[in-house]
Amino acid sequence: MLKTKNYEFWFLTGSQDLYGDECLRIVAEHSQKIVSELNATGKFPYKIIWKPTLIDSVSIRETLSAANANPDVAGCIVWMHTFSPAKMWIRGFNEYKKPLLHLHTQFNRDIPFDTIDMDFMNQNQSAHGDREFAHILTRMGVVRKTISGHWTNPTAQERIADWMRTAIGALESRYMRILRVGDNMRNVAVTEGDKVEAHQKFGWEVDAYNITDIAEYVQAVSDADVNALTDQYYAEYDIITDGRDVAEFRAHVAEQAKIEIGFRRFLEENNYQAIVTTFQMLAGLKQLPGLAIQRLMADGYGFGAEGDWKTAGFVRLFKLMTAGKPGAKGTSFMEDYTYHLEPGKEAILQAHMLEICPSIAAGKPAIRVNPLTMGEREDPARLVFTAKPGRGIACSLVDLGKRFRMIVNEVECLPQDKPMPKLPVASALWRPLPDFATGTEGWLIAGGAHHTAFTYDLTSENIADLCEFFGIECVIIGGGTTIQSLKRDLMIGEVYFG
């Protein structure tokens, strides 16, 4: 299982010194109560840390700078209990660079109609304090998420928890290192991209190595280690030999164990969190990495095939964002393969030659060894399964030459009623929203790739917020999309980002 850092989010309460000590004492009491009760719900993936009320520009700047500098802090949640003249926040936000949530709430849920007086009004002024605060953020162009609602409201709480996951993706992205084994698949356009721009926008270091560098690590793996991991495979998965000789079958599987151990050591020693391979550059490898890559993905590594480092990066980010999420159904690299065009039941069969993450499997995956026409190597072992049904998102980052565009399609994974016994790869069958024709037409018009980062466990809102933080265009094709609305979005994007 993927472990993420023990991040924390700071809860900052804004006010000013005009209210007097007694009022500020109550403000602090209120914000402390909110923080402790939010933490006690157990709904938040990361701890919320209360900070003393901010009442002047010096303490504001010091606190925001400290949040910036502290590697444990993933972001700040800010709320104006009372009125906090917003010029006081300018210096702080000139420096602040981490994810920001403006929580528009108030301590009391209801107006105390029978007892409300001027003192109460003066002490509970979020309705206008938050407007003053938001005004300066908007004027300064500070990217932030805004969530409105009483802090005990379950929907508001779920949205805060969800935003925390987006914030983790935004922050972790800055430190991601992607290993390219070889280069892009020859002549393919959509998997290409500007790595310098990606470094600036997302923070990614994208480094190429010769396959022989990694193959050395694979060759160096001991037989004992290979045997132990192969035994683990046999214990963990079903085995479908398809009539092959049992010993010959195991030798093929063992080759993937060797690749997994070699690749994993290289990734760990060289501090990479995502990997791309290409079947055109295999050098000393006996098989195209299949089962090995599937297991690395299941452990939280990003992956993209055919040199697709852009998709690998987002698979990794989605793995981080969804880590430990209760009821998570999985995240994988995916590829649009072939269509089912039966009227009324149109769907897209999703698969790849080998490398689909078993985290999305509906049942127990099975190991099979079958020929692969690509790669000109021996038959690779791979995990075969079908994906869980349910709602998910498929995301494709494309490089338009001058800039990046993220394209998100909300999809509905369908139960796979009819078995596909001759299909020797993992697969999913999904219907794009809002319907097959609009979904596929929209995807083509937006320039989306055949590769995607797919997850059940995030929504298009997560991705839109993430892209806003990165400062890139995000086009969503979902339930309410029409071709005309999509074209309008693309035109607006062209003006804004172009």
Which positions touch Mn ion (CB under 5 A)?
Answer: 305-306, 335
Residue 339 near residue 349 (C-beta atoms within 8 A): yes
Please say whether the beta carbons of 290 and 366 come within 8 A. Answer: no
- Supply the Cα-derived Rg of the chain in whole angstroms: 25
Assess contact for 327 and 385: CB atoms under 8 A. no
Closest to 352 (Cα-Cα) out of 185, 105, 167, 157: 185
| Residue 189 exposed, middle or buried by CB count within 10 Å (0-12, 13-18, 19+) | exposed
Smaller CB separation from Mn ion, 320 or 353: 353
Peptide bond into 45 cis (omega under 30): no
**Which is nearer to Mn ion, 335 or 457 (by Cβ)?**
335
Any idea which residue has 């660079």 for tokens?
97
Residue 288 beta carbon to Mn ion: minimum distance, rounded to whole angstroms: 12
Nearer to Mn ion, 172 or 306 (CB): 306
CB of 451 to Mn ion, least distance (A): 6
Beta carbon of residue 161, minimum distance to Mn ion (angstroms, whole number) = 34
Q: How far apart are CA 313 and CA 335, in angstroms?
A: 15
Q: Is the dihedral of CA 245, 248, 254, 255 positive or negative?
A: negative
Q: What are phi and psi of 285, to 5 degrees?
A: -80, 135
Q: How far is the CB of 335 from Mn ion (least distance, A)?
A: 5
Comparing CB distances to Mn ion, the nearer of 130 and 335 is: 335
Give me the residue whose beta carbon is nearest to Mn ion.
305
Residue 335 or 489: the one with the smaller Cβ distance to Mn ion is 335
* Residue nearer to Mn ion on the CB measure, 170 or 351: 351
CB of 399 to Mn ion, least distance (A): 17
Residue pair 180/307 in contact by the 8 Å Cβ criterion: yes
- Alpha carbons 399 and 407: distance in angstroms, whole number: 11
Could you tell me the smallest distance in angstroms from the CB atom of residue 336 to Mn ion? 9
Q: Are 298 and 365 in contact (CB under 8 A)?
A: no
Residue 191 beta carbon to Mn ion: minimum distance, rounded to whole angstroms = 8
- Residue number, 88 or 297, with CB nearest to Mn ion: 297
Q: In the structure encoding, which two tokens stand for residue 301, read together?
A: 């590594």
Tokens of 224: 């004992």
Sign of CA dihedral 348, 353, 354, 355: negative
Q: Smallest gap, in angstroms, from Cβ of residue 305 to Mn ion?
A: 4
Q: Which is nearer to Mn ion, 134 or 305 (CB)?
A: 305
CB of 394 to Mn ion, least distance (A): 14
- Shortest Å distance, C-beta 352 to Mn ion: 6
- Report the first-to-last Cα separation within the chain, whole angstroms: 40
Task: Give the nearer residue to Mn ion in terms of CB position, either 171 or 357.
Answer: 357
Least Cβ distance, residue 448 to Mn ion (angstroms):
14
Helix (H), strand (E) counts: the chain? 15, 19
Neighbours of 357 (CB within 10 A): 28
Shorter beta-carbon distance to Mn ion: residue 96 or 318: 318
Give yes or no for a contact between 443 and 477, defined as CB atoms under 8 angstroms apart: yes
Q: Judged by CB, which is closer to Mn ion: 368, or 451? A: 451
User: Nearest 5 degrees, angle CA 333-CA 201-CA 194?
Assistant: 70
Q: How far is the CB of 184 from Mn ion (least distance, A)?
A: 11
Could you give the C-alpha distances from 379 to 264, 333, 368, 459, in angstroms and in order? Answer: 22, 21, 10, 37
Return the number of the residue (131 or 377) whose C-beta is nearest Mn ion: 377
Q: Do 23 and 82 form a contact (C-beta atoms < 8 A)?
A: yes
Q: 155 Cβ partners below 8 Å, 6+ apart?
A: 149
